[in-house]
Amino acid sequence: MPLSPELLEILVCPLCKDSVIPTPNGDGLKCARCKRVFPVRDDIPIMLVDESKEED
């Protein structure tokens, strides 16, 4: 089950407070500004900086 649009509207990056968008394969949420990807496990976004990775 994909993340609901309502949840995506309120989720922000914990580092820079910018919006996040789903990755193409749906296994993470990517910050538009700082390019960090936060994992989604069992349809639960893990919005912890320690769990994220930086991508281009």
Owning domain of residue 22:
5-54
- pLDDT on residue 1: 62
What are the tokens at 14?
Answer: 């914990």
Residues 34 and 55: their CA atoms lie apart, in Å, by 9
Residue 42: CATH number of its domain: 2.20.25.10
Residue 17: exposed, middle, or buried by beta-carbon count in 10 A (0-12, 13-18, 19+)?
exposed
Query: Which residues face 36 on adjacent strands?
Result: 54
Distance of CA 47 to the CA centre of its chain: 7
- pLDDT on residue 12: 97
Residues 15 and 6: their CA atoms lie apart, in Å, by 21
- pLDDT on residue 2: 77
- The total number of structural domains in the chain stands at 1
What pTM was computed for the model? 0.90
**Could you read off the pLDDT tens digit of each residue along the chain, which spans 56 residues?**
678 999 999 999 999 999 999 999 989 999 999 999 999 999 999 999 999 999 97
